[in-house]
Structure 1
Amino acid sequence: MESSRRFSGYPRAQKGPETVYAPVADKNPALKGWSLIIAAKLVNYSQTIAQATWSNAKFGCVKDVPGLHEYDWRLQPIVTPLVPDGVVQSKAEITPELHERQSDDLAGRFHSAADYHELFKSGKLTPLQVAKGLLPLISRGQDPPAKYESAFAVTKEELVLAAAKKSTERYAAGQPLGVLDGVPIGVKDDMDVEGYTSHMGLKFNPSDPFFKPATSTIWPIAQLEAAGAIVVGKLVMHELGSDVNGCNPHWGTPVNWNNPSYYPGGSSSGGGSALSAGLVPIAIGTDAGGSIRIPSSFCGGYGLKPTLHRTHTMKSSICVIGPMAATANDLAIAYRIMSAPNPEDAIQGSFALSIPPSPLTKKTIGIYRDWFNQASKDVLNVTEKAISYFTDKLGYEVVDITIPYLLEGQYGHSAWALTEGLDHRRSHAVDPAHPLANVNYCNQLLLAVAGCTPAVDMIKFGQLRGLLMEHLAFLFKQHPDLLILTPTIPEAGWKIEPGDETYGFSDGNQTIRDMMYIWLANSTGCPAVSAPVGYVDAEVGEGKLPVGLMAMGEWGAEEQLLAWAKEAEGYLNDASEGGRYRPKEWADVVEIAKTTE
């Protein structure tokens, strides 16, 4: 049965051309140390070399796609679910099942918002105790350094303690604001939080007028704070969000506590690290090319990339703000609160609430086999077992699908993302004539190459986006409530190599491979969620490597994705081999807080 929901900007449902998915190895040189420094200087001083690098990265291949002139430009993939006639829009409800706590004897159990809420209500613990217990673990500037400080760029002790004190008083008076009241959360360092400076992963420059404390808090974070959540700090990120490994020479790379010999993923790297360590149950990230879902997958958590502009209208056609969480329930709680309609945001404020699926809804999984099977053998082994559980135990039907021009679409997305990044950097540079003066060598290289992108190629990218959106609309019409499943990342981890952090590094081949599946949701504006479904043994270091499975849905289908993530959590906890894995150095914040005064 076709969906009865109404949309603004919904693409026509038209099947795209039949194409073959046959990736060819990329030939981008891996650069670090002096080779990176020299390459960065060359592309900045020689337009010829920069153009050759741009062409070698295959950023110009989209213009060769035949028949693109027949498609409308989609320079912004805005598809808005509309509020039904006669319905008064309201906030999403935090329904009773989201208050349910997991069993105390569950293997690999992480603390959730519901755990904190119950402890606070019972008087066994207070938000102020939690804040006092957390701050010594995460605050920079201590001697010796705090054990978990790599995840946090800045903590404002006075702000954290003041908010925790007010929350403690509300519980004492029997008037908590809800399940998030007093719960610690972290926020990526590219979003404004009143009193905090947003560094975007850049080295702090006190003479830069853009490095100043925010005077107001961005809408999604303000909604979480209004629900009582306590921002305990700004989270470290990959500089400018320009890569997916999380390496940051200026701030230090956040630790992936599942196995510290591997990167946490980026660019919301601090969020992945903080969740894997158990420091917070919820972190808020941004995602322009997998930056929520990749660290969630690498670090064994849950991450939701919402529909474009669902939580906040960003100055981007690919980037969104969304939640990362240690449990599926907390992912849903954070999403429902932060997606409250903003009356001062004409685009975000017009979104109808996402609707949870009916128990009678037919469950359909779409798999493009040639694409899916590009993942490594160990990732395929884990994800295929999970899919068998969905079909055998939960009643999902698997249908084979195809999607055209995935190779060209990914290169187009990469060029688009870097071009947006260059524009943003120019807009925020002290000297717009030298916008790359304060960025690391990796970004000097990437953004200088992005400057070679012609305007006509951006138009062609927009036309290919239109083609892909029409084909997805065709699939969603053919199979209502379809979820397109892929591994989140084709590899289980990204090894840290000696010398990576000296200046950073650039490995375009690995970056492109790790973004193989996630870019499509960004380019088309669709929502997608990553959930851990198992683990593989690591080649180096101590600890297992999580494997994520990703579902992408129709525009506005966040609640359907959250319901699927909850089912995936049931598989991981109760049916997968060994259940959920908890890192050896996981911090039991509840027990630590109980020892504070």
Structure 2
Amino acid sequence: MRDEAFIPGPRLTLPGAGAGPLAGLSFAAKDLFDVAGHPTGAGNPDWPTGRPLPQRHAWAVQRLLDAGAALAGKTVTCEVSLGILGFNQFDGTPRNPAAPGCLPGGSSSGSASAVAAGTVDTALGTDSGGSVRVPSSLCGLYGIRPTHGRIPADGMVAQAPSFDTTGWFARDAATFARVAAVMLGEAIPEAVAPAPLLLAADAFALADEPVQQALLPVVERVAGLLGKGTERMTLGEPGELAVWGAQRNVIQRSEAWASFRPWIDAANPRFAFNVARNLAFAASLTEAQIALARSVRERARARARLLLEGGAILAIPTTPFTAPPLGLPLPELDRCSERIGLLCSFAGLTGVPQLSLPLAQAGGKPIGLSLIAARGQDARLVAIARAL
């Protein structure tokens, strides 16, 4: 029986370099990353058709191989990365080992599932609208959306270039930090510098009450580690998180349409209804709508600079709820996706790094607390995760 985390067909494996900082570790790669000589499926049966086989590995795959990690397979993704809950009509929905019978989160669902199951030590995912952060929270993993542009996207299927990032998962903080040092190209600090912790009350208010209560002890642990107390504040003005979520959606979907339109026009590919519907919405967006959304993004970026460039760390729930059950009707899935987008939009719009900590449970299922720092402070977030 095949492991639902991995794409159908024979498992693609490659040995790592003989030695290196990740020697002895195994990894999986989301099926948006090129592996030389093998098709990249992108979660859609028509994506590989007519495309030449990749001639080189994606930058992130090569980076891990060179560091000594061995590739153990390519993992299921939501179709062309357009999904946040983890299901795929064509390749199947990976299981959530941390919450059986529930969705794993997506679109890096297969990578999160493989790590949570213990099949691999770490896995590559991509995060445009939350696709590493969300499965990290729902599957109980460490996961990061790095500073936008920090990690090369060479050899990765593009969705929305001003949002696309390469992230990774691990079950434990030590492994997560080992991978981070390689991916970021810098040592992870041993000491954690004192800093104020900002608790975004408006972001917490978006989460279910059991989630809020489960995360508050984690907030206290982080504040104790940082040593400068917790300041309750609001991420935006009243109602602004909803505005950011809506306008992030406009920009991201407009970029996705620009990325995929040439292929759609040429190949008329098959799509699941929810993916086709979202692409059709993107095709209808006007230049005025996109320009307005971009102006809203500038407001969010100004807010991020004000909050974070003095060294503070921001805490928000990664997701507003624990893993939803399998089999929900599409309208309910849409509501779940919309709520998730309200919490994931700030880092996406501003390009700052966001790391999800798997240190809480609500109702017997994992839930993540996210820490957010200023641009370029990725290693600092990893150091906090390891110290905890």
Which residue among 298, 317, 338 is the counterpart of 1:487? 317
CA-CA distance at 1:358 after TM superposition: 5.3
User: Which residues of 2 match residues 332-351 of structure 1 at below 5 A?
Assistant: 332-340=177-185
Measured against aligned partners, the alpha-carbon deviations of 1:451-501 in whole angstroms (never above 9, x if no partner) come to: 111112222222111111112212224xx2211101100101211126x6x
Name the counterpart of 1:151. 5
Matches of 2:143 and 2:68 in 1, distance apart? 21
Q: Which has the higher strand share?
A: 2
Relative to structure 1, the CA distance from residue 464 to residue 155 in structure 2 (aligned partners, 3 Å threshold; closer, same or farther) is: same
What residue is the counterpart of 1:319 in the other structure? Answer: 164
Task: Give, as a single letter, the amino acid of the residue that structure 2 aligns with 1:228.
Answer: G
Give, in angstroms, the shift of residue 205 of structure 1: 6.7
1:278 and 1:204 mapped to 2: Cα distance? 31
Secondary structure, counterpart of 1:163 in structure 2 = coil
Matched, 1:192 2:34: yes
Other structure's SS at 1:267 match: coil
Q: What is the CA–CA distance in structure 2 between the aligned matches of 1:556 and 1:354, rounded to whole Å?
A: 13
Q: Is the 8 A contact 1:276 1:301 kept in 2?
A: yes
2:22 to 152, 165, 180: 180
Equivalences for residues 533-552 of structure 1 within 5 A: 533-537=359-363, 544-552=364-372
- Contact persistence 1:242–1:267 (CA under 8 A): yes
Whether contact under 8 Å (1:309, 1:320) holds in the other structure is yes
How many angstroms does 1:178 deviate by? 2.2
Correspondence 1:560-575 to 2 at 5 A? 560-567=380-387, 570=388
CA pair 549-474 structure 1, distance change in 2 beyond 3 A: same
Confirm or deny: 8 A CA contact 2:197 2:226 kept in the other structure.
no
* Aligned-residue offset at 1:357: 7.8
Tell me the TM-score normalised to structure 1 length.
Answer: 0.60
Deviation at 1:506, TM superposition (A): 7.3
Q: Which residue type is aligned with residue 470 of structure 1?
A: A
* Paired residue secondary structure (1:303): strand
Judged with a 3 Å threshold, the aligned counterparts in structure 2 of structure 1 residues 220 and 564 are, in CA distance, closer, same or farther, namely same
Q: Matched residues in 2 for 1:305 and 1:209: separation?
A: 32
Match of 1:464 among 273, 291, 296: 296
Report if the CA contact (8 A) 2:244-2:342 is conserved. no
Structure 2: segments with no counterpart, 5+ residues: none
Instruction: Give the whole-Å Cα distance in 2 for the aligned partners of 1:238 and 1:384.
Output: 32
Q: Note if contact 2:103-2:324 (Cα within 8 Å) is conserved in structure 1.
A: yes
Measured on the aligned residues, the alpha-carbon RMSD in Å equals 2.3
Q: Deviations over 1:26-78 (max 9, x none)?
A: xxxxxxxxxxxxxxxxxxxxxxxxxxxxxxxxxxxxxxxxxxxxxxxxxxxxx
Return the offset for 1:240.
Answer: 1.7
Tell which has more relative contact order, 1 or 2 (C-alpha 8 A, sep 6+). Answer: 1
Report the Cα distance in structure 1 between the residues aligned to 2:46 and 2:284, rounded to whole angstroms. 28
- Partner of residue 113, structure 2: 273
Match of 1:401 in 2: 233
Seq. identity, %: 26
Matching of residue 374 in structure 1 with residue 215 in structure 2:
no
TM-aligned CA distance change 1:408 to 1:505, over 3 Å: closer
Change in 2 beyond 3 A, CA 1:395/1:519: same
Q: Does residue 261 of structure 1 match 2:106? A: no
| TM-score, normalised via structure 2 length | 0.91
Gaps of 5+ in 1: 1-144, 171-176, 341-352, 538-543, 571-597
Q: Is the 8 A contact 2:254 2:290 kept in 1?
A: no
Check the 8 A contact 2:184/2:379 in 1, yes or no: no
Pick aligned residue for 1:443 from 254, 275, 286: 275
Q: How far apart are the structure 1 equivalents of 2:83 and 2:26?
A: 27
**Paired residues of 1:382 and 1:533 also in contact (CA < 8 A):** no
CA contact (8 A) 1:220 1:339 kept: no
Q: Which structure has the bigger radius of gyration?
A: 1
SS at match of 2:343: coil
2:326 to 496, 501, 504: 496
Cross-structure match for 1:67: none
Q: Post-superposition, which runs of at least 4 consecutive aligned residues in structure 1 deviate over 4 A?
A: 154-157
How has the CA–CA distance of structure 1 residues 459 and 393 changed in structure 2, closer, same or farther, with 3 Å as cutoff?
A: closer
CA deviation map 1:127-166 (0-9, x unaligned) = xxxxxxxxxxxxxxxxxx23xx110015765x63x627xx
Distance 1:205 1:400 in 2: 46
Distance in 2, matches of 1:308 and 1:205, equals 26
Match of 1:330 among 175, 179, 182: 175
Partner secondary structure for residue 515 of structure 1: helix
Rate the CA distance shift 1:393–1:302 in 2: closer, same or farther, 3 A.
closer
Instruction: Show the counterpart of 1:53.
Output: none
Aligned mate of 2:79, from 236, 239, 243? 239
Q: 1:224 to 1:393 in 2, by over 3 A?
A: closer
